[in-house]
Amino acid sequence: MMEAEIENIDIIAPQVHFGKPEQEPYFNQLSLACYDPEKIHSIIIRFLNDYEININDFPLDKGSYSRTILFRNQSYLELMIARWDKGAKTQIHGHPDFVYEYLIDGLFQIESFKKNGSYVNKIASNSQQPGEFICLQGFKGQFDNAIHRITAKKESLSLHIYSDNALKGEIFTDFKTF
Ligand SMILES: [Fe+2]
């Protein structure tokens, strides 16, 4: 019985995961924002002003980072909060066509890379402070947009919006880097 119920769940139906029901108007506004960077940013600023996002409400993954999905809609827009342990580092990774990332607390070092065949070249390294955001737009259907690696220099909390499942982002291993 349980199996049949699970099979009947439409995985692309609107879903609120750990977001609170009263936050749904914000999630709906994000869905209607058509990936307009200014609209998305202003919705997020209002959301963060209206709801205290406390680092202790999110799981600590020692030496790494945890991902908590607040909302995912039927066209795969995803709102995620990441809690980072000090020193946590991502792999070098690409993204779907739309990426928005806002640092709520902590400090990031962000290394950016450019794809060169099956390799990547480092093109920049910048720090990101709380209150600063990044918004990048690339090619739809590709998962090698905005290739970067994030290192949390302090324990950190960040908010992310993607136009698709971020876990589909292409991964580049260190030995391909030069
Ligand atoms: Fe990323």
Distance 17 CA to ligand 1 centre (A): 21
Inter-residue contact 151 to 75 (CB < 8 Å): no
* Domain range 13-176, its CATH number among 2.40.37.10, 2.60.120.10, 3.40.190.10, 1.10.3720.10: 2.60.120.10
Q: Could you report the per-residue pLDDT of 8-28, keeping only the tens digit for each?
A: 333 344 445 677 888 889 999
d(CA 68, CA 46): 20
- Ligand 1 centroid, distance to 46 Cα (angstroms): 23
Q: Where are the domains of the chain?
A: 13-176
Q: Which is nearest to 83 in space by CA: 110, 103, 98, 112?
A: 103
How far away, in angstroms, is 10 Cα from ligand 1 center?
Answer: 27
* Ligand 1 centroid – CA 11 distance (Å): 23
Q: What are the tens digits of pLDDT across the range 56-111?
A: 999 999 999 999 999 988 888 999 999 999 999 999 999 999 999 999 999 999 99
- For ligand 1, the distance from its centroid to the CA atom of residue 96, given in whole angstroms, is 10
What's the 160 CA to ligand 1 centre distance in angstroms?
9
Question: Model's pTM, two decimal places?
Answer: 0.86
